[in-house]
Structure 1
Amino acid sequence: MGWLNRIFDMVTPGGEPETIEAPPPDDPSGPAQAYSVPKAPEDPSTPPERLGLNGEYDQSGLAKRVALALDQNPDTDDFERLWVAQTGGTVVLKGEVPSQDDLDRVVNVASGVYGATGVNTDEVTITG
């Protein structure tokens, strides 16, 4: 079960998601990675953290786009005991991961999603 399904009871939107190629935020010289970005907003005044998967206004838009990006990345496609939420433009991770490397990969993907201004990991426990 993927992130979108587990957290938001949604399936991955149909069609090919729009992506951008960008270097990992913590290593600009590293290999480029694809990150999901929303379609153009239906209302141009919609804040980036409120853009839904299809450009609509969505209170949890950023968290859903982060979940989609985590689903699309084979290194972060699912951690059953980790959850994603948002507070404004900050991605909030809660739960457990097996290692610091796993957490670093999730943070790297989450911080690269359009509209993310930061990632809070205060409520994540490393179990390994």
Structure 2
Amino acid sequence: MQNSQSSEIINAPIEPDKSARRSLSTLHLPANLTLTAIPPERIGVDGQYDHNGLAKRVVLQLQELFGIDLVKNLRISQRGRVVILMGNLPDGMLAKSLMEAILSVEGALYVEAQNLSITEKLPRSL
């Protein structure tokens, strides 16, 4: 007899608590809700939304500060607010200056160096 009562309890339908239900109409959100602020890492060179905006602004900043010849040997991309720096640098001291310049661009939070080669020529001593 106890088994039949136990099976009735297990098989009993579960009634949801209707007081816990919420609909979108009770949240009182405006119907014309839009996001107007562009995240800083997505602001393009022209100020409009650009998925790779941070990387493009970093390239422009580096060209202005270090020249086009240096930047053409680099590949700059982004992952969110992280700027990824790849390529060849002629000088090891230049890497620190580049990273400081990258971090000065609005939206850059961190610099990640991947496959960055330093082709510094050391003086020959005899």
Query: Which category of TM-score, normalised to the shorter sequence, fits these structures?
Result: 0.5 to 0.7
The answer to whether structure 1 residue 77 and structure 2 residue 77 are counterparts is: no
Q: With the length of structure 2 as denominator, give the TM-score of the two structures.
A: 0.62
Higher relative contact order (CA 8 A, sep 6+): 1
1:50-84 deviation per Cα after TM superposition (whole angstroms, max 9, x unaligned): 001121000110001101111111xx223132111
Task: Identify the residue that residue 117 of structure 1 maps to in structure 2.
Answer: 109
Paired residue secondary structure (2:106): coil
Decide which structure has greater helix share.
2
> What are the ranges of 5 or more consecutive residues in structure 1 without an aligned counterpart?
1-42
Paired residue secondary structure (1:115): coil
1 CA distance for matches of 2:114 and 2:45?
26
Task: Identify the residue that residue 32 of structure 1 maps to in structure 2.
Answer: none
Give the C-alpha shift of residue 87 in structure 1. Answer: 0.8
1 CA distance for matches of 2:90 and 2:46?
33
1:81-128 deviation per Cα after TM superposition (whole angstroms, max 9, x unaligned): 211111110110111101111111111111110000100113211111
| RMSD between aligned residues | 1.3
Decide which structure has greater strand share.
1
Aligned residues: 84
Larger radius of gyration: 2
Q: How does 1:85-96 map to 2 (within 5 A)?
A: 85-96=77-88
Q: Deviation above 4 Å: which 4+ runs of structure 1?
A: none
2 CA distance for matches of 1:44 and 1:103?
36
